[in-house]
Structure 1
Amino acid sequence: MSATFNPGAAATLLTDALRSGVQFRDLPAEAKPATLASGYDVQDQFMAALGDPLVGWKLGVGSANAMRRAKLARPLVGQVGASRCFAAGDTVPVPAGAVVTIEFEIAVRLARDVPPLPGELAPADLAGLIESAQVAVEVVLSRYEDRVVVGMPAFAADNVGFHALVLGGKIDPASVEDVRDSAEVALDGERCALPLAGDDAIYPLEALQALLAHAAERGVTLRKGTVVTTGTLTRPFDVSVADGARTVRATYGGGELTLQLAPRAVS
C-alpha cells in the first residue's frame, strides 16, 4: 500500500456508489489517488468492502492506441467478483437510468497457480498457462459520470469500471483470430459492433502478460481456475435501459452469446 496516501475514503465513496447505483462526478481532491499504485490501493479496499469473493480479473484500456491516449505503459487491471459473474442467457441488472458499455471479449482460465514472476514469459510459456478459453461479454459501468475525465488512477480505483461479466461457450485457444474476424454484436436485433483491428485491437496473450506484470508488482499470486477476460475484440458501444430491458447478442464463427440487460436496483 502507498505510504503517503490513505485509500479508505475513496474506497468508501466507491462502495456506496456501487451499492446505490448512483454515479458521481469525481472523488474529492483529498481522497483522489495521484498514481496508479494508489489507485490500485483504493481498488483493493473497495473490493474488500464489497465482500465479494474474487473469481477473476479484467483488463481494460488495453489496445496500443488506447494506452497511447491514456499515457499508460500497460493495460489497467480490475477484479471480478463472484456475484457479478453470469452465464450466457442470464439477465444482468443495471441501475435504472444508467448507460452501460458492451464489450465482446475472450476470457481464459489459468491452468495453474502463478506466483509473482520477475520478468516476461515467452509466448509459448504464456499459452501454457491457459487451461481453457471462452467468449465473454463485459458490461462496463463506472461509478463516475465520465470515466475518462477523472484520470487513470481514479479509474483504476473504480475497479476499471467493472459491472458484470457474462461467460459464454468454450473455444479452441488457437481459434482466437477466427473468433475476432467473425465477431459481430447486435442490440435488440440491430448490429452495433464489428471487430477492431490494428492498433485498436487487443491480443489475449499480450493482455495475459500485462496481468502477470501487474500481479508481480502487487505481490499477488494468480490462482488456478481464475478467469481472465482480456479486453474487447469488437468496438465498444453504449446501451441505455431507461426504456426497459434490452437484448445483446454476440455471434462468432457459428456460435453465439446472448444476454439481457434489465433496469433494477443492484447491491
Structure 2
Amino acid sequence: MENDKTACDVASAAGLLLEARRSHVWLRDLPPEARPASMEEAYAVQDLLVQRMGGPVAWKVGSPTPTAEPARGALAANTVHHGATQLPAGGFNVIGAEAELVYNFTSALPVRDAPYGMDEVLAAIGSVHAAIEIADTRYAVWKSVDQFSQMADQMSHGVLVVGTGRTDWRTVDPVNEPMTLWVGDKKEYEVVGGNSAGDPKRMLLWLANVGSRSLGGIKAGDQVTSGSTCGTIFVTAPCSLVAEFPGVGKAELQIS
C-alpha cells in the first residue's frame, strides 16, 4: 500500500521562515503542504534555511534529560555575536534569555564512515566560553506549533552571544559550574550546573557523529552551545543581560 502522505515542501517552508526573519511578519503556522511531519523533514527545512543564510558557523544542541536523544539547531553568522553586544528590540518577537556554555572547535570533524570517539571530539575543542542565547520564534505565538515546525525554525533560535572564556577548558566541570544570570541589577537566576542534559560531552559526541552530518560535519571555528542552565527566562526590552560563569567567563547583551 502506498503512503498517501505528501512530502513536505522543504523549499517553501524554508522560504517562509526566512521571510519571517527578514520582515518580522510572524507566521501563524506553516501551511499544510510545507509543514514537516518528521524529524528528517524538519532538519531538511532547517538545513536549507541555514544554507540560504550563508551556511552554519555554530550549532545549538540540547537534550531534555542526560539519556534522551539530543536535538540540534544549525546557526548562521548573522545571528552569532562575540563580546559585549547591543541589539535592537525590534529584531525579536519574544526574548527568552538562556545562559549557556559554548565550546569552540579549533579542529574540523568532517563527515566520515567510522564514528568519532570521545577522545577525538574533545581533542578538537580549543576553548569554552560563557554565552547567552536568546530563544525566539518566527511563529506569532510562542510554542503554538508542533515540535517539528519548531525544529525547522532552528530550534527556536534567536541570537547567540559568545562571551569570554578559557583555553584550559578541560579544567571546567560543567555539571558543577555555578552560573548567575543578571537582568539589569537584579540577580534573576542562580544555579550550579542546571543543564537538563547533564554533562554536555555526550551531546558534543552526538553532534559530531549524527547531528552535523547533513551539513558536512563540524568545521574548524564552529561554536557549539550546549543547552540552557536556567531554562528560558522571558524578559522585556529595554534590558541588560549578564551571564556569569565564575570558572569560565561572562557574556553580556544589551537589548534596547
- Please give the range of the TM-score, normalised by the shorter of the 2 chains: 0.7 to 0.9
CA 1:141–1:178 in structure 2 vs 1: closer, same or farther (change >3 Å)? closer
CA–CA distance in 2 between the matches of 1:10 and 1:168? 33
Aligned to 1:44, which of 39, 47, 53? Answer: 47
Kept in 2, the 8 Å contact 1:109–1:132? The answer is yes
Look up the match of 1:168.
163
Higher helix fraction (1 or 2): 1
Aligned to 1:25, which of 28, 46, 56? Answer: 28
Using the TM superposition, give the Cα deviation of residue 149 of structure 1 relative to its aligned residue in structure 2, in angstroms. 4.0
CA 1:25–1:221 in structure 2 vs 1: closer, same or farther (change >3 Å)? same
Kept in 2, the 8 Å contact 1:86–1:92? The answer is no
CA 1:127–1:22 in structure 2 vs 1: closer, same or farther (change >3 Å)? same
CA 1:34–1:97 in structure 2 vs 1: closer, same or farther (change >3 Å)? closer
Aligned to 1:6, which of 4, 9, 18? Answer: 9
CA–CA distance in 1 between the matches of 2:92 and 2:215? 39
Look up the match of 2:203.
207
Q: Which amino acid aligns with 1:144?
A: Y
CA–CA distance in 1 between the matches of 2:88 and 2:113? 40
CA 1:88–1:27 in structure 2 vs 1: closer, same or farther (change >3 Å)? same
Q: Does 1:234 align with 2:227?
A: no
User: What are the ranges of 5 or more consecutive residues in structure 2 without an aligned counterpart?
Assistant: 1-5
CA 1:97–1:167 in structure 2 vs 1: closer, same or farther (change >3 Å)? closer
CA–CA distance in 1 between the matches of 2:153 and 2:179? 29
Using the TM superposition, give the Cα deviation of residue 49 of structure 1 relative to its aligned residue in structure 2, in angstroms. 3.0
Count of matched residue positions in the alignment of Structure 1 and Structure 2: 248
Look up the match of 1:183.
179
Using the TM superposition, give the Cα deviation of residue 120 of structure 1 relative to its aligned residue in structure 2, in angstroms. 5.2
Q: Does 1:88 align with 2:89?
A: no
CA–CA distance in 2 between the matches of 1:143 and 1:176? 35
Using the TM superposition, give the Cα deviation of residue 78 of structure 1 relative to its aligned residue in structure 2, in angstroms. 1.3
Kept in 2, the 8 Å contact 1:196–1:234? The answer is no
Using the TM superposition, give the Cα deviation of residue 31 of structure 1 relative to its aligned residue in structure 2, in angstroms. 1.2
For the residue of structure 2 that corresponds to 1:200, the secondary structure is coil
Look up the match of 2:59.
57
Q: Which amino acid aligns with 2:45?
A: V
CA 1:94–1:161 in structure 2 vs 1: closer, same or farther (change >3 Å)? farther
Q: Which amino acid aligns with 1:58?
A: K
Aligned to 1:136, which of 131, 140, 153? Answer: 131
Look up the match of 2:239.
246
CA 1:13–1:194 in structure 2 vs 1: closer, same or farther (change >3 Å)? same
Using the TM superposition, give the Cα deviation of residue 53 of structure 1 relative to its aligned residue in structure 2, in angstroms. 4.4
**TM-score, normalisation: structure 1:** 0.82
Matched-pair identity in %: 25
**TM-score, normalisation: structure 2:** 0.85
CA 1:189–1:26 in structure 2 vs 1: closer, same or farther (change >3 Å)? same
Deviations along 1:213-232, whole A, 9 cap, x unmatched? Answer: 1123x262321121111111
Q: Which amino acid aligns with 1:214?
A: G
Stretch moving more, 249-258 or 195-204 = 195-204
Q: Which amino acid aligns with 1:56?
A: A
CA–CA distance in 2 between the matches of 1:176 and 1:227? 17
Q: Write the mapping of 1:70-149 to structure 2, written as runs, cut at 5 A.
A: 73-95=68-90, 98-118=93-113, 121-149=116-144
CA–CA distance in 2 between the matches of 1:12 and 1:199? 33
User: What are the ranges of 5 or more consecutive residues in structure 1 without an aligned counterpart?
Assistant: 68-72, 263-267
Using the TM superposition, give the Cα deviation of residue 26 of structure 1 relative to its aligned residue in structure 2, in angstroms. 1.5
Using the TM superposition, give the Cα deviation of residue 156 of structure 1 relative to its aligned residue in structure 2, in angstroms. 1.5
CA 1:30–1:259 in structure 2 vs 1: closer, same or farther (change >3 Å)? same
Look up the match of 2:3.
none
Q: Does 1:257 align with 2:218?
A: no
For the residue of structure 1 that corresponds to 2:172, the secondary structure is helix
For the residue of structure 1 that corresponds to 2:110, the secondary structure is coil
CA–CA distance in 1 between the matches of 2:105 and 2:92? 36
